[in-house]
Amino acid sequence: MKEVGSFNPKPYVREKLEVGETGYFTANIKSSAEVKMGDTITDSRHPSGVLPGFKEIHPMVFSGIYPINTADYEHLKVNMGKLQLNDSAFVYQAETSVALGFGFRCGFLGCCTWRSCRSGCGAIRHGHHRYVSERGVSRNDVGQDHGEGN
């Protein structure tokens, strides 16, 4: 770990964070796929369990994102990882379309985050052209095991 700190309102470095405190840390994490929002950071010598009541957020709106120029695929992939760090409900996985080539199947918590992605806001913009498909809403949970409307 390189640095530990808190915000008040600007970031400041601290010696350590105690149990129940919030803050930030910087570390040698090679890929954004290695961590996700809500992860519990603990001491390997005295591990603690996951915080009670924590539930992982699941996306409800899905869309495909494809670069117009296939040479931009790797750049888009890196920026998808950055977007995932900022939005814990955003998930993506690589997919291929016969018509569009290599791209990503993306899941969003709601239409608002989908719209901001579609309009070019956020980490995936950076001047690269891309095609964003129309949204689709997951219907897996409605009227099945979880009850109507959940």
Residue 82: phi and psi, rounded to 5, are -65, -40
For the chain, give the mean pLDDT: 74
* Euclidean distance between CA atoms 97 and 102, whole angstroms: 6
Distance of CA 4 to the CA centre of its chain: 22
* Euclidean distance between CA atoms 112 and 98, whole angstroms: 29
Give per-residue pLDDT as tens, 64-91.
888 888 888 888 888 888 777 777 778 8
Q: Domain 61-137 in CATH: superfamily?
A: Elongation Factor G (Translational Gtpase), domain 3 (3.30.70.870)
Residue 119: phi and psi, rounded to 5, are -80, -5
Give me the DSSP letters along 90-131.
-EEEEEEETTTEEEEEEEESSHHHHHHHHTT-STT-TT--EE
Percent pLDDT > 70 in the chain is 73
- Residue 122: pLDDT band (50, 70, 90) is very low
Residue ranges of the chain that CATH labels 3.30.70.870: 61-137
Q: What is the pTM of this model?
A: 0.57
pLDDT of 139 higher than 60: no
